[in-house]
Amino acid sequence: MAIDNETVKRVAFLSRLKVDDDKIESTKEEFNKILQWIEELNEIDTDEVEPLISVNNVNLRVRNDEITAGNCRDDILKNAPSAEYDYFAVPKVVE
């Protein structure tokens, strides 16, 4: 399954990354090399195989829905590139 220039642009946008116009061709070629290599997996018939999602097959633990760490707003906001009125600040999103 080789990909084309349009797919490169689409995947870049889904990833919220920009690929410059003069890099699209080389990115496509690089991707196709990697995808072609990955296609060797098709040599093996896996129709009857259960996917393995996690190696420790324990059930997830449940706990009470209680706050275990809180009252740290100021600590959290310290790392924000922009904060105003005790909130994260972002560009205007609603016209």
Can you give the binding site for other proteins, defined by CB under 8 A? 1, 3, 7, 11-18, 27, 30-31, 33-34, 37-38, 40-44, 46, 49-56, 58, 60-61, 63, 69, 72, 75-76, 78-82, 88, 90-91, 93
CA 35 → CA 1, 11, 30, 73, distances in Å? 8, 14, 9, 44
Nearer to other proteins, 42 or 65 (CB): 42
DSSP annotation of 6 reads H
**Shortest Cβ distance from residue 22 to other proteins (Å)?**
15
**Shortest Cβ distance from residue 25 to other proteins (Å)?**
15
Give residue 71's region: left, alpha or beta (phi > 0; psi -120 to 50): left
**Shortest Cβ distance from residue 11 to other proteins (Å)?**
5
Angle of the 5-14 helix axis to the 24-38 helix axis, nearest 10: 90
